[in-house]
Amino acid sequence: MTDFLPTTPATSTPSPPSEISAPKIRSHRHFSIAAPLSEERFFLVLAVFIGIFSGLAVVCFRLAIDWTRIGLLGPAPEPHSLRVLLAPFLGGLLVAVLVIHFFPLVRGSGVNQTKAALYIFNGYIPFRTAVGKFITAAIAIGSGHSLGPEDPSLQIGASIASALGRRMDFSRDKLRLLAPIGAAAGLAAAFNAPISAVLFVIEEVIGRWSAGILGSVVLAAISSVVVVRGFLGTQPLFRIPPLTVFRPGELLAYIVLGVIGGFGAVIFAKAIGYLRPRLRRLPASTQYLQPALAGLLIGAIGYLGEPQVMGAGYEYIDQAMHDQFTWKLLLVFAGLKILATTLSFVSGTPGGMFAPALFVGAMLGGAVGGVERHFYPHLTGTTGTYALVGVGVLFAGFLRAPMTS
């Protein structure tokens, strides 16, 4: 089981940060608990338990986000409401205090941090990171910051798997195998879609197909989704619209959508890449204000009339797929979502990029479909079909995960 992932030479492995300098993991050749089972079967059984625990954690995470959102913003954010203006500011300020003083390793989305733990620290992710990510991301997303719950769920699942491995005194090599298993479980629970989670973890976290660990990854993902559906129901994040038969005349429109989506992904990534290092060079004292000021700007967008860009925005993706907005409004939503998400992410606010990428893709796709239907009504399918394709285009371009999309 130790050859399923690329190995990192022991001489080049740096020491973990001070927060994760826990007692050294003892290296055992065999697990005493696994004596009656073969090692492969034991990992499959363990994967089921990782999926169950990760699913329970994500259920609590999603409920925490919903309760925070309802408590701070109300059932539905309304323009010209002081709650909409101030909630992201106050949420950002509280998150900054928690990150700086209690959970310094929870910044970012969680995907790159999980990859770093896998390849640099041999799969070691402190359980404190899962707790901190849970608390700070729930506050940030629930208060209206333009981020999503999927990436934090991935990191929470990986942290739970790492904690179980340490509890069982796994060797470092075997501990490395658990991080992608937990990551798949957490992401599957957040997406309510095990296949997409498995593909993303293999494509982005592991970086290559690994037959030896694939069975455990699939089992963990399925187990977590079963738990989530048992508690929260089988309702998907958004409803897939009725799909129309492809017409050859639409090919040009889909090409245009691909080009526009590619430019949108580049603008999104460039904005983050430009602002993030510049904000990091500011004095340390400004770290308290960066998430709060980002929240104030996002709150201002909502206050002035576009609260749809606040939070993950899945309900608005659903509405875009069912032709609830004009194409001009869809373009406005896409541009403001890029702005709001960039502000949230570069300020160091914990939260994910999956949901914003899906949101922007749906809006751009729906806008392209709306324009074509306006000028060439006899050539085009439904706007919802274009919105669905746009989701895949942005996901592939921005997150660089074409197989998952």
What is the per-residue pLDDT across 39-98, written as a single tens digit (0 to 9) for each? 678 888 899 999 999 999 999 999 999 999 999 998 888 898 999 999 999 999 999 999
pLDDT in tens, 298-342: 999 999 989 999 999 899 999 998 888 999 999 999 999 999 999
The DSSP 8-state label assigned to residue 146 in this structure reads S
pLDDT in the model for residue 230: 93
The DSSP 8-state label assigned to residue 272 in this structure reads H
- Non-local (6+) Cβ contacts of 388 within 8 A are 240, 241, 243, 321, 362, 365
pLDDT in the model for residue 142: 96
Q: How far apart are CA 348 and CA 294, in angstroms?
A: 10
Q: Which of 177, 182, 175, 213 is nearest to 28 (CA)?
A: 175
> Between helices 354-375 and 383-399, what is the axis angle to 10°?
140
The dihedrals phi and psi of 352, each to the nearest 5 degrees, come to -100, 165
- Non-local (6+) Cβ contacts of 59 within 8 A are 189, 227, 228, 231, 232
Range with the largest mean pLDDT of 2-11, 16-25, 201-210: 201-210
- Confidence band of 211 (pLDDT split at 50, 70, 90): low
pLDDT in tens, 369-386: 888 888 877 766 678 888
pLDDT in the model for residue 226: 96
How is the chain split into domains, by residue range? 39-232, 248-399
Mean pLDDT of the chain: 84
pLDDT in the model for residue 6: 44
Q: How far apart are CA 387 and CA 273, in angstroms?
A: 26
Q: Which two tokens stand for residue 189?
A: 């629970």
Percent of the chain with pLDDT over 90: 49
pLDDT in the model for residue 13: 45
pLDDT in the model for residue 11: 41
Q: Which of 352, 351, 363, 353 is nearest to 391 (CA)?
A: 363
- The answer to whether residue 34 scores a pLDDT higher than 70 is no
pLDDT in tens, 253-292: 888 889 999 999 999 999 998 998 898 888 888 888 999 9
- Confidence band of 12 (pLDDT split at 50, 70, 90): very low
Q: Are 123 and 174 in contact (CB under 8 A)?
A: no
- Confidence band of 404 (pLDDT split at 50, 70, 90): low
For range 22-30, the mean pLDDT: 43
- Non-local (6+) Cβ contacts of 363 within 8 A are 320, 330, 331, 333, 334, 337, 387, 390
- Confidence band of 31 (pLDDT split at 50, 70, 90): very low
Q: Which residues pair with 352 in a beta bridge?
A: 148
C-alpha dist (Å) from residue 345 to 246, 268, 275? 37, 11, 10
For range 218-238, the mean pLDDT: 90
More confident: 206 or 144: 144
Q: How far apart are CA 153 and CA 201, in angstroms?
A: 13
Q: Are 95 and 139 in contact (CB under 8 A)?
A: yes
Range with the largest mean pLDDT of 171-185, 339-353, 380-394: 339-353
pLDDT in the model for residue 245: 57
Q: How far apart are CA 116 and CA 149, in angstroms?
A: 20
Query: H-helix or E-strand containing 374?
Result: helix 354-375
pLDDT in the model for residue 43: 81
39-232: CATH architecture: Orthogonal Bundle (1.10)
pLDDT in tens, 135-148: 999 999 999 999 99
pLDDT in the model for residue 208: 63
pLDDT in the model for residue 17: 47
Q: Which of 275, 271, 256, 222 is nearest to 365 (CA)?
A: 256
- Non-local (6+) Cβ contacts of 92 within 8 A are 140, 143, 145, 290, 291, 292, 293, 294, 295, 296, 347, 349
pLDDT in the model for residue 113: 87
pLDDT in the model for residue 26: 45
DSSP structure string for 217-268: HHHHHHHHHHHHHHHH-S--SSPPPPPPPP-GGGHHHHHHHHHHHHHHHHHH
For range 123-139, the mean pLDDT: 93
pLDDT in the model for residue 254: 84
- Non-local (6+) Cβ contacts of 204 within 8 A are 111, 115, 399, 400, 401, 404
C-alpha dist (Å) from residue 20 to 95, 102, 279? 21, 13, 26
- The answer to whether residue 242 scores a pLDDT higher than 60 is yes
Q: How many CA atoms lie within 13 A of 373 on its CB side?
A: 16
- Confidence band of 209 (pLDDT split at 50, 70, 90): low
CATH of 248-399 among 1.10.286.10, 1.10.3080.10, 3.40.50.300, 3.40.50.720:
1.10.3080.10
For range 109-121, the mean pLDDT: 84
Q: How many CA atoms lie within 13 A of 303 on its CB side?
A: 15
Indicate if 248-399 has the same CATH topology as 39-232. yes
* Type of residue numbered 141: I
pLDDT in the model for residue 159: 94
pLDDT in the model for residue 260: 92
More confident: 48 or 123: 48
Buried b (16+ CB within 10 A) or exposed e, 216-244: bbbbbbbbbbbbbeeebeeeebbeebeee
Q: How far apart are CA 199 and CA 237, in angstroms?
A: 18
